[in-house]
Amino acid sequence: MKILRVLTVILFCAPFLLGQWSKSPALFDATGIARNGDSFWVCGAKASIASSVDGGNHWLLRTSKEGGGTLLSIRWLDEKVGAAGGTGGLILLSTDGGESWKQIPTSFSEPVLDLSFIDSAHGIVLTTASVLYTADGGTTWRAALPSSNSDLSRFKFVLAVAALDEKHAAVLVKEGPAQYYAGRLVTTSDSGATWKTTDIEHTTLNNLLVTRGHLWLVGTEVVEREKQGGHAVPVTFHSTDAMIWERGPRPLIDTNYACRPEGCLMWNGAWLDTFVQNGKIHTFPPTPNLSVQWSATDSRICTLAPDLQCADTKIVQSLPQRGGPAPQLAATELRATTADLAGKCIRCDYPHIIVSEKFEGKATVKLTILARPDGTVSSVELVSSPNPEVGDRLSQAASTWVFYPVFRDGVAAPTKRTLDLTVNVLKSR
């Protein structure tokens, strides 16, 4: 793939102001974001990848290809190795810190929703239909899921995949689409040749990722079970072999919110470096546009909702006043690929349980969604909702969705669809 060595200088329409979010004019419709060192990286339409070394003020287009599909996810293992995956089974890999990107061959065409590579040979991917592992740079792919293992028959949803080294990788599976469902770990220690199912008892695990040279899990654990059933506390686990898991630093608060290698959201307005003892607390301006596609450095935070927006973040010494809820990761249901995909959803995550101060019960929200020719969402209209807060939460989630393109006379066209989403709403106490 030809690398576009084009330095594109993007200046915001207004200067950055302390405590405010600034929208960045996009090089392309971005769908995924990650951090590598002190730089931000985004991927998206036209198989495009761009980076910023100044907190999102200026962007360098690293690669792009007209008609190349849409990249949906980008992940960095370390400062050198990164990978991005998208529609049509597209996988791009860099082993030189993003200076160049090469395409990894695949034997499948389903969209890649999540992926983790440790070098040019070894990697694991989550598609809409399966979890696949390669140990030879994509020449062959072994299916980890779906599995004939009877222990996994009821776990049809995947929350995350992560590869640690040439031998070890893990998959976090769930019984349902939300984090509160029961889950299991599916791990390999022999480069994907065999997979083992592990249950860390009395836990609800919400995030799986690689950082600081370890596999990490974040969630809650029920302790003091002998005392009237016990109570849940936040917990982290880490492992160097995907088999033996040791407790790590305990997060300051319970969180079911989206974690990244740099840390975990505490609420809308704060994130914590969860993976070191007494991790640093960072605050940032709350925003209704915060999504699970977020990334941060010690001085800046950026999110896609769906437009790329960034704000200043600062380190504080004490726990600030708790803010509103942050977005949660949602699990992907593995489904067989159908013949007619046009207009169907590729990535349509939304919260299945919402906490509200003014409403309780089951809520059905009607949305009208406009999608661009590449399948990314251009606008969301809230048609009806029993509660404005619930409607806003689901509208925000829908703004980050991606659909299969619809072709008319051989040309991709914008589409419009109206749909109902149903969620359970719990009233805050």
How confident is the chain (429 residues) per 10-residue block, as mean pLDDT?
A: 37 44 85 96 96 94 93 96 97 97 96 97 97 97 92 92 97 91 95 94 94 96 86 94 93 88 96 91 94 95 91 94 89 88 87 80 94 90 91 89 89 92 82
| Residues comprising the chain, all counted | 429
CATH class held by domain 346-427: alpha beta
pLDDT score for 19: 59
pLDDT at residue 210, rounded to an integer: 97
- Report residue 28 as tokens: 């392309």
Position 353 scores a pLDDT of 82
8 A C-beta contact, residue 129 and residue 335? yes
CA dist 224 and 204 (Å) reads 16
How many Cα atoms occupy the beta-carbon half-sphere of 222 within 13 Å? 12
pLDDT value of residue 352: 82
CATH class of 6-316: mainly beta
Whether 184 and 199 have beta carbons less than 8 Å apart is answered as yes
Written as one string, the DSSP assignment of 141-199 is: -EEEES---GGGTT--EEEEEEE-SSS-EEEEEESSSSTTS-EEEEEESSTTS--EEE-
> Hey, do 6-316 and 346-427 end up sharing a CATH topology, with the first three levels equal?
no
The pLDDT of residue 324 is: 87
d(C-alpha 317, C-alpha 254), whole Å? 19
Q: What is the pLDDT of residue 9?
A: 34
Please tell me the pTM assigned to this model.
0.90
Ordered by start, the domain boundaries in the chain are 6-316, 346-427
